[in-house]
């Protein structure tokens, strides 16, 4: 490998690992309803078992003739494992090998559990007008690798928490057609962090890098978007729903630090003011529900999520100039996501007037592209679009659920789901020049870390319970 390649990849390529998969697909959540969980969220924007329809379709409040409040919580228990080979190569200033090693690396269960609460209120004013309010989450993910994992240069901690507050209003045309609109007020909180592992394998010559921070960003922001939806009662037993949620662009502002970036006044980057803008996708959902008779109903769902606009991540450090690099913007990694579809089918069985049983299946296309990122790859080290921080893949799920009416006012929902994904190839490379004199940017030794591995397990169990009360 030539010294020109190393110089060309220097700091910017090195810190770009912090954005690896930071906001890839796989963090868009369906889990905002307990009744919907039981049928894999098929026609969740259409059926209207309870007020949780408001998360998917603001026209849903028109389905109720009494005030109803719905609340619940879902426990998401993901199990994600990765395994592969980590290659470490230490080069001198002339790109000559000083030391190298190849090490097997296994990372087990690095996706963290999540609790996903929700609450909804639907208020009919008269036969025509109604309003609603929902509080739930649309996006979320957390992965966390042990500090001694050799993969921490690519991914140490990636977390995104969001909360949506959605007031809505709807109009009902003669119980045949309803239309509604909502404001979606989003709070987003994110943490992105990469670092060198606590135990580097090439001995004392690399020990001064142990636990040093490549890039650490902790920020949050509020943003507002809108959604619109419609319901059409084709017959007494057949309904179609369509809804659209617009995109969001929260500008996360917070602290950013790095042990390898310096400002032009020779100070280190320690809790500087930083900003990263996230392009959260818009989506369109179509639902179909038909009740065949007193015992059986069928739900079909189709959802398209527009990830194409999420092309890259950039970091801004307002009012600061970097020493030798541009911080406004500082390009991180090109993600180049692709839009995808989610297909779902659910069946409801009504054994009696007070009980509903559900079963469902869904297939969800991932947003990470297959193949090699040719623009980022070095000749010796390929890089896949798919990354460790959020191990995205196509997913399938199988679900079961039920609702039991305790009386005319109170009912309880329960649901369980098993979700699994494809095992996918992941290749990545990280290059960090040692900076013994960071002020002058002097290039001394260079450490190359390359990962050649795969996701060996990706699955989740989900458990949900909720209550509905009609006034």
Task: Find the mean pLDDT for residues 350-354.
Answer: 93
Express each pLDDT in 79-132 by its tens digit: 999 999 998 888 877 777 787 888 899 988 888 888 999 999 999 999 999 999
Q: Smallest Cα–Cα separation from 243: which of 114, 64, 54?
A: 54
pLDDT of 2 strictly over 90: no
Show the CA angle centred on residue 30, arms to residues 351 and 300, nearest 5°. 50
382 within 8 A of 364, measured Cβ to Cβ: no
pLDDT value at 308 more than 80: yes
Supply the mean pLDDT for the chain: 87
State residue 235's pLDDT score. 93
Higher pLDDT, 54 or 391: 54
Rounded CA-CA distance 163/167 in Å is 13
The structure's pTM equals 0.88
For the chain, give the percent of residues with pLDDT over 90: 52
Q: Could you give the C-alpha distances from 203 to 285, 429, 436, 450, in angstroms and in order?
A: 55, 20, 17, 17
User: What span, in angstroms and rounded, lies between the C-alpha atoms of 278 and 275?
Assistant: 10
Cα–Cα distance for residue pair 293/10, rounded to 1 Å = 67
3-state secondary structure 38-51: HCCCCCCCCCCCCH
pLDDT, residue 110, reads 87
Show the beta-strand stretches assigned E in 155-267. Answer: 157-173, 177-195, 213-235, 238-245, 251-262
Query: pLDDT by residue (tens digit) across 288-299?
Result: 999 999 999 999
pLDDT for 35-63, tens place per residue? 999 999 999 999 999 999 999 999 999 99
């Amino acid at each position: 490998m030539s010294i020109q390649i190393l110089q060309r990849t220097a700091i910017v390529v090195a810190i770009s690992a912090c954005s690896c998969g930071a906001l890839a697909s796989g963090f868009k959540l369906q889990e905002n309803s307990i009744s919907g969980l039981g049928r894999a969220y098929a026609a969740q924007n259409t059926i209207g078992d309870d007020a949780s329809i408001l998360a998917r379709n603001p026209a849903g409040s028109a389905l109720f003739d009494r005030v109803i409040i719905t609340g619940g919580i879902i426990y998401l228990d993901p199990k994600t494992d990765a395994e592969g080979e980590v290659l470490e190569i230490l080069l001198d200033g002339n790109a000559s090998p000083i030391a190298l090693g190849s090490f097997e690396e296994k990372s087990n269960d690095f996706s963290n559990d999540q609790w996903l609460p929700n609450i909804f209120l639907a208020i009919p004013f008269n036969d025509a007008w109604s309003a609603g309010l929902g509080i739930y989450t649309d996006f979320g993910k957390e992965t966390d690798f042990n500090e001694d994992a050799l993969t921490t240069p690519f991914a140490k901690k990636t977390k995104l928490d969001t909360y949506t507050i959605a007031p809505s209003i709807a109009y009902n045309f003669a119980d045949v057609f309803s239309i509604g609109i909502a404001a979606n007020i989003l709070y987003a909180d994110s943490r992105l962090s990469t670092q060198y592992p606590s135990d580097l394998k090439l001995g004392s010559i690399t020990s001064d890098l142990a636990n040093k921070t490549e890039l650490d960003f902790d920020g949050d922001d509020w943003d507002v978007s809108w959604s619109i939806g419609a319901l059409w009662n084709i017959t007494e037993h057949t309904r179609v729903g369509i809804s659209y949620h617009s995109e969001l662009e929260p500008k996360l502002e917070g602290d950013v630090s790095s042990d390898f970036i310096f400002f032009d006044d020779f100070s280190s980057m320690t809790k500087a003011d930083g900003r990263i803008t996230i392009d959260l996708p818009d989506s369109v959902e179509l639902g179909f529900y038909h009740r065949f008779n007193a015992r059986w109903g069928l739900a079909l769902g189709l959802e398209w999520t527009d990830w194409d606009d999420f092309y890259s991540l950039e970091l801004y450090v307002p009012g600061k100039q970097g020493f030798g690099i541009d911080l406004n913007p500082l390009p991180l990694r090109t993600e180049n996501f692709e839009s995808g579809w989610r297909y779902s089918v659910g069946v409801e069985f009504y054994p009696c007037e007070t009980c509903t049983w559900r079963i469902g299946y869904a297939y969800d296309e991932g947003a990470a592209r297959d193949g090699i990122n040719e623009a980022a790859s070095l000749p010796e080290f390929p890089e896949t679009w798919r990354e460790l921080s959020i191990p995205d893949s196509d997913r399938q799920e199988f679900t079961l659920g039920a609702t039991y009416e305790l009386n005319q006012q109170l009912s309880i929902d329960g649901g369980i789901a098993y979700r699994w994904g494809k095992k996918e190839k992941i290749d990545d490379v990280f290059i960090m020049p040692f900076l013994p004199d960071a002020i002058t940017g002097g290039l001394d030794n260079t450490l190359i870390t390359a990962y050649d591995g795969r996701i060996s397990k990706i699955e989740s169990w989900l458990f949900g319970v909720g209550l509905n009360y009609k006034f």
